Structure 1
Amino acid sequence: MRFSADTARPVAWKNGGGVTRELALHEDGGKMVWRLSLADIAQSGPFSPFPGLSRIHTVVAGAGHRLTGDGVSLAAQPMQPLAFDGGLALDCQLRDGPCRAFNVIYDPRATRAQASVLRGGNWVGESGPQALFVAAGSLVLDGIGGFACGEGLVLDSAARGRVSADGAVILVRFFPVRD
């Protein structure tokens, strides 16, 4: 499934501190397993909590920000996936102006997620559920085609391709939860 930030509808946050674009959603039995989104963080203020869910937050544009709450202080740095409990009540302080962040929000009872950043060069993926989001440059996947900045796809199988020399692609892998 291909997706694009350019065609995803922007939705304002409840607190008015920014907008988000839902890029992809996976549900099972009517319940969200995971969601991928791209958020524009326009100002400092409360961060949206997602009780019972986990989150991976990657700043893809701007200088980043700091998230603070009850005994918690997290630094959101550009192109460094930051995993944390989505239910935390956090306040966001922008570093140097607005930023944009790619978010993975998932139900840890249904799946585990892991994010990494692929830089320029050849890439050979492993099989299993995964998503790719082009944060900079471009990506060409063998037999699938090309993706520009702000585009991506969700796969259930292995793929291979090339990230442009100036590229940065966020790879999210999903793993089943074992009892």
Structure 2
Amino acid sequence: MRVLRAAGYRSMPWKNGGGVTTEIAVSPAGAGLDDFDWRVSMARVELSGPFSQFAGIDRTLAVLEGEGIVLEIAGYPPKSINRTTALFSFPADVQTSATLIGGPITDLNVMTRRSRMTHSVERLVVSAPVEIRTEAGTTLILCSNGEVTVSAAEPVHLGPLDTLLPGPDSASLLVQPAHEATLFVIRLGDISGND
């Protein structure tokens, strides 16, 4: 079991140079923006404008902070996304631009190379203990806000924007919030269904 602390995340320019992205985790380790199998990151969007394009990548986006955005994706109707709407998945290799609804936002991006990987993202708002199944593949649990304790041989505490990567032998985890907390459960697997 590994804990990734928010203070240790790596920041870098967007692929298109229009802002800054904060990388939470990437595989393989050390992969760049053009050769990852999967990548989980956050981005601060200060201005309306185009999104970076990633060839062969599928992407899921959620809003963590701010009023929200409207995505204009080639071939799709406009999509409004805020902190309470359903997460939105779309191909990252089509022309996409975003219009801010009411000022800057921070978003969560989960991206996988569609020739190799699949992903799902679930948002949980919890105020009581909850059991989270980790299943096959790789699971990440991001504490978006609030604080939680994860039961393990030694209990693990997650603060705002900390992320837990359970070990491969963890079938499920008991997560106990201090008060109300918002979690994102990110499940990653290869296209054959193996980890």
Fold-level match, TM-score > 0.5? yes
Q: Distance in 2 between matches of 1:91 and 1:63?
A: 17
In the alignment, structure 1 residue 151 sits paired with structure 2 residue 162: yes
Instruction: Give 5+ residue unaligned stretches, structure 2.
Output: none
Write 1 or 2 for the structure with the bigger share of strand: 1
Partner of 1:174: 188
Shift of 1:15: 4.1
In the alignment, structure 1 residue 83 sits paired with structure 2 residue 97: no
In the alignment, structure 1 residue 131 sits paired with structure 2 residue 131: no
Q: Distance in 2 between matches of 1:168 and 1:76?
A: 17
Q: Give the fraction of aligned pairs with identical amino acids, expressed as a percent.
A: 23
Superposed, 1:98-109 pairs within 5 Å as 98-109=104-115
Report the more deviating stretch, 92-101 or 122-131.
122-131
Shift of 1:14: 4.6
Shift of 1:173: 1.1
Shift of 1:136: 1.0
**AA matched with 2:59:** R
Contact 1:17 1:42 (8 Å CA) reproduced: no
SS at match of 1:6: helix
Alignment RMSD (CA, Å):
2.0
Q: What is the TM-score with the length of structure 2 in the denominator?
A: 0.83
Q: Distance in 2 between matches of 1:99 and 1:4?
A: 21
Q: Distance in 1 between matches of 2:180 and 2:145?
A: 7
Q: What is the TM-score with the length of structure 1 in the denominator?
A: 0.89
Instruction: Give 5+ residue unaligned stretches, structure 1.
Output: none
Change (3 A) 1:109 1:14: closer
Contact 1:119 1:165 (8 Å CA) reproduced: no
SS at match of 2:67: coil
Q: What's the CA shift string for 1:65-84, capped at 9, x where partnerless?
A: 01113232222221532111
Q: What's the CA shift string for 1:52-94, capped at 9, x where partnerless?
A: 0001111100011011132322222215321111112111100
Contact 1:135 1:150 (8 Å CA) reproduced: yes
Count how many residue pairs are aligned between Structure 1 and Structure 2: 178
